[in-house]
Structure 1
């Protein structure tokens, strides 16, 4: 592909330089893995005047253990999330394994997924379910955004001009986590719908995340408030799982499109949510008689 006349390509060596370049050229489009952006460029759906290549910024390619959470740099790939963080972030790692193909997972980044802000992004539901925080930086400094405030519309986010996503901080699992994705095949597929669940057995709370069933990734607040039998785990029954699934489906705001109807998405979410809760409860209480579906 021949760059158009007047096209600029910036390749900063560190984050400070990247932020200076972006401040001087706010229309420059950041690129790391490029798994979404390059498709748009190749099909002429996007024609940025400048690109800001972040692959040379070493700090963005690292993750750090923050004690109760993990800080994932914007350049960390999905392959590394799946391979290195499954023990502490099992829900996010499970979602990472469903992203594209091995080649795509070796390039694609969680922060790139966030920057695209697609409602179907595979990494988004686990981030919602766990209450992650997005760090954005500009020449003016850093700011933190709760993940629930980050998505503002289809492929729109709360990022401001001149800002870069530098990291995502995700609380470590405090109990079982699940991620389920429905698609037309097992690999290389955009989600028809997806669902993430995080069970915090210490605080006795439940987190949810819904993908590809609304204008933005969603939480299911009423489902999170369902009355779980924490004091008597063996009282968990099929009726509770089905009701949980119904509440998750009710929280969705799907549409009909080429991948599925809105009705099918609601049905699939109800099934996935019930299944996820059964599995998580059974994992949390292996001594009980809960059946895992």
Structure 2
């Protein structure tokens, strides 16, 4: 197995163009597990650990740009206040050691339906920055996933970053598994309130061939939430929202859970996250709980 180790983004893109089959590796939390268990044997590995451009975060035209290799631990510490939903999801990723190595870029590259970052990215309306020697393009997160562990990347392309607007309203993330962290999600759900757009964003994980939004649930909330004069949500609104989120999923039965259990769990998580987020939007007062 050939080991490629570029020292700059330009070198990394050139190496990927010359070796389209090279598998990118940064933290190695997914790729090395597959290699160690002999589930994958690539001809070459493209180590991105020394590419400084991928380990930086900053602002780009008012949005936050997170380099593809910025570890979850730094997202939590540096960006938690501005990207609370993504930080919540990051806190459920593995152990402290994994959070110091794993990254959102790695989650996107793997494109697993169970990736913890995906629901938060979808709910927040994130965009994925993709680059090659041919140039850079931006793809909405909702259009990035094409199938089970498949995405829109061409053979010569790399995920170089993620773009998100700073949160303007409450965001929530919920995940269910045998325990809260260090486990693959049986189902996960992300919710983001966007008061300036008068809408809510959603993200479903580990309950369909790809991460996806619950569009009918979002449209339903748009007609139910009073952004200017917040008032308590009726239980019927929460139940309907949960039902629509569950209906948007397409789960399967597997060793971690049944399809029926996943649908039920998504409905519960949707109701709970909506309650938490709306209560926060109301200022945490009891009248909005």
Q: TM-score of the superposition, structure 1-length normalised? A: 0.95
The answer to whether structure 1 residue 142 and structure 2 residue 140 are counterparts is no
Name which of 230, 236, 256 aligns with 1:239.
236
- Looking at structure 1, the residues matched to 215 and 160 of structure 2 have their Cα atoms a distance apart, in angstroms, of 29
The answer to whether structure 1 residue 208 and structure 2 residue 206 are counterparts is no
- Looking at structure 2, the residues matched to 238 and 66 of structure 1 have their Cα atoms a distance apart, in angstroms, of 40
The answer to whether structure 1 residue 34 and structure 2 residue 28 are counterparts is yes
How far off is 1:202 after superposition?
A: 2.1
How far off is 1:233 after superposition?
A: 2.1
Asked whether the 8 Å contact 1:177–1:199 carries over to 2, the reply is: yes
- Looking at structure 2, the residues matched to 232 and 35 of structure 1 have their Cα atoms a distance apart, in angstroms, of 46
Name which of 266, 269, 278 aligns with 2:266.
269
Asked whether the 8 Å contact 1:233–1:288 carries over to 2, the reply is: no
Number of aligned residue pairs: 285
Alignment-derived partner of residue 165 in structure 1:
159
- Looking at structure 2, the residues matched to 200 and 132 of structure 1 have their Cα atoms a distance apart, in angstroms, of 13
Alignment-derived partner of residue 184 in structure 1:
178
Counterpart of 1:35 in 2: which secondary structure?
A: coil
How far off is 1:68 after superposition?
A: 3.3
How far off is 1:283 after superposition?
A: 0.4
Alignment-derived partner of residue 225 in structure 2:
229
Alignment-derived partner of residue 115 in structure 2:
121
Alignment-derived partner of residue 255 in structure 1:
252
Q: Structure 1: any 5+ residue segments left out of the alignment? A: 1-6
Q: Structure 2: any 5+ residue segments left out of the alignment? A: none
Asked whether the 8 Å contact 1:234–1:288 carries over to 2, the reply is: no
The answer to whether structure 1 residue 72 and structure 2 residue 66 are counterparts is yes
How far off is 1:36 after superposition?
A: 0.4
Alignment-derived partner of residue 18 in structure 2:
24
- Looking at structure 2, the residues matched to 271 and 104 of structure 1 have their Cα atoms a distance apart, in angstroms, of 28
Name which of 274, 279, 290 aligns with 2:276.
279
Counterpart of 1:289 in 2: which secondary structure?
A: helix
Alignment-derived partner of residue 288 in structure 2:
290
How far off is 1:96 after superposition?
A: 0.2
Asked whether the 8 Å contact 1:118–1:216 carries over to 2, the reply is: yes
How far off is 1:8 after superposition?
A: 1.4
Counterparts in 2 of 1:80-99, with a 5 A limit? 80-99=74-93
Asked whether the 8 Å contact 1:237–1:290 carries over to 2, the reply is: no
Runs of 4+ more than 4 Å apart: none
| CA-atom RMSD in angstroms | 1.1
Asked whether the 8 Å contact 1:120–1:212 carries over to 2, the reply is: yes
Alignment-derived partner of residue 46 in structure 2:
52
- Looking at structure 1, the residues matched to 8 and 61 of structure 2 have their Cα atoms a distance apart, in angstroms, of 26
Counterpart of 1:121 in 2: which secondary structure?
A: coil
Asked whether the 8 Å contact 1:229–1:235 carries over to 2, the reply is: no
How far off is 1:23 after superposition?
A: 1.1
1:231-284 deviation digits (Å, cap 9, x = unpaired): 542242111111100110010100010000001101100000001111111100
How far off is 1:184 after superposition?
A: 0.8
Asked whether the 8 Å contact 1:92–1:123 carries over to 2, the reply is: yes
